[in-house]
Amino acid sequence: MIELTNLTKAYGRGDQRTVVLDGVTFRVDAGEILAVVGPSGAGKSTLAQCINLLTPPTSGSVVVNGEDLTTLSAGKLRVARRRIGTVFQAAGLLERRTAAENVALPLDYLGVTASETKRRVAELLDRVGLADRAGHYPFQLSGGQRQRVGIARALALRPSVLLSDEATAGLDPVTTDSVVDLLRELRDDLNLSIVFITHEMDTVLKIADSVARLDHGSIVESGRIVDLLTNPRSSLGAELRPQRFDAEPAAGQQIWNVVYDGTDVPADWIATASKDLGVPLSILGASVQVVAGVSVGGVTLGVPAELGDDVRGVLARYGLSADLAEHSPRARALEGVA
């Protein structure tokens, strides 16, 4: 478990003081993955450095398994920091060391015996699927393989918390998916608390249990990912929600945007709602996927204009919110006001 309380980081004094993190508070339980998202300059990189205490926070606490790391002496902090493994964006491998030698670095630093180091490195490389690449140098590995070596090295000291700082940035979609699958597998197998810092919203949907949005150094919205995705009033949920690709409506139709804001929307809601309304509903665009066992996303419907607000009430029965896209050019054209 890792818990941040009122974490603040400021640079300078007086008129020159700049607050980069302002009272950041969140908790990640064992076996949970929290994604932290936000625009460039939001403070994500500084947050990562403060979590692993590479940069000391100005105030606030970083508690790992019940111990506040910010109160420890330098010697005790060096020991406690082993509880947090870090995976960086560029993997950070030493080019003149093989994959096995890179994974062994933390163990060599602590003076672990050669035999124990060899056993531990072999175990880790096997766990990340690179047992046959132990003797390869970084330049002989793909981007995804280098990240797997970085993950293995981060696990060398058996941490309870794993910090992933933009670990999938710059990877192609297939490689990103393989890294995400590995992190989820490790979370399940080792009961890790994972803080996954990223700017890639699509990746958040694939990996996170919870998500927090950092903006100007503060957490402006957070929650369980399914709760955010099924809340039509959540701006973070709207950013995360799969995007729709819309087609043109037929003559006499209005455009309605429909959002899954229930956790048990029936799979046949289109057919059932069409039957309730007495007319077929046309799907103009849709992007729906299953997250944590719940269907999330949205659909754009073409609806006969004469139905009016009846659509909203009928769809609400199925855990769906619906709004007339009155501000779209196509809707205005249909209403004769464009």
Q: Which domains does the chain have, with CATH numbers?
A: 2-236 (3.40.50.300), 241-336 (3.30.70.260)
**For residue 70, what pLDDT is reported?**
93
* Residue 308 three-state SS: coil
**For residue 233, what pLDDT is reported?**
86
pTM for this structure? 0.83
Give the range among 102-116, 159-173, 206-220, 234-248 with minimum mean pLDDT: 234-248
**Does position 244 have pLDDT exceeding 70, yes or no?**
no
Over range 90-115, report the average pLDDT: 93
Under the banding of pLDDT at 50, 70 and 90, the label for residue 72 is very high
**For residue 324, what pLDDT is reported?**
87
Under the banding of pLDDT at 50, 70 and 90, the label for residue 292 is confident
**For residue 329, what pLDDT is reported?**
40
**Does position 337 have pLDDT exceeding 90, yes or no?**
no
Phi and psi (nearest 5°) for 207? Answer: -120, -30
Under the banding of pLDDT at 50, 70 and 90, the label for residue 289 is confident
**For residue 248, what pLDDT is reported?**
78
Across 204-293, the runs of DSSP E, i.e. the strands, are: 210-215, 218-224, 253-260, 282-291
**For residue 326, what pLDDT is reported?**
59
CB atoms < 10 A from the CB of 201, how many?
A: 16
Which pair of tokens denotes residue 284? 């103009």
Higher confidence at residue 329 or residue 27? 27
**For residue 150, what pLDDT is reported?**
95
Of all residues in the chain, what percent carry a pLDDT higher than 90?
67
**For residue 4, what pLDDT is reported?**
97
Residue ranges in 26-172 assigned as alpha helix (H): 44-51, 74-80, 99-109, 114-127, 143-154
Under the banding of pLDDT at 50, 70 and 90, the label for residue 338 is very low
**Does position 245 have pLDDT exceeding 80, yes or no?**
no
Residue-wise pLDDT for 44-70, tens only, equals 999 999 999 999 999 999 999 999 999
Higher confidence at residue 89 or residue 68? 68
Under the banding of pLDDT at 50, 70 and 90, the label for residue 290 is confident
Higher confidence at residue 128 or residue 242? 128
**Mean pLDDT, rounded, of the chain:** 90
Residues 6+ away with beta carbon under 8 Å from 328: 255
Residues 6+ away with beta carbon under 8 Å from 251: none
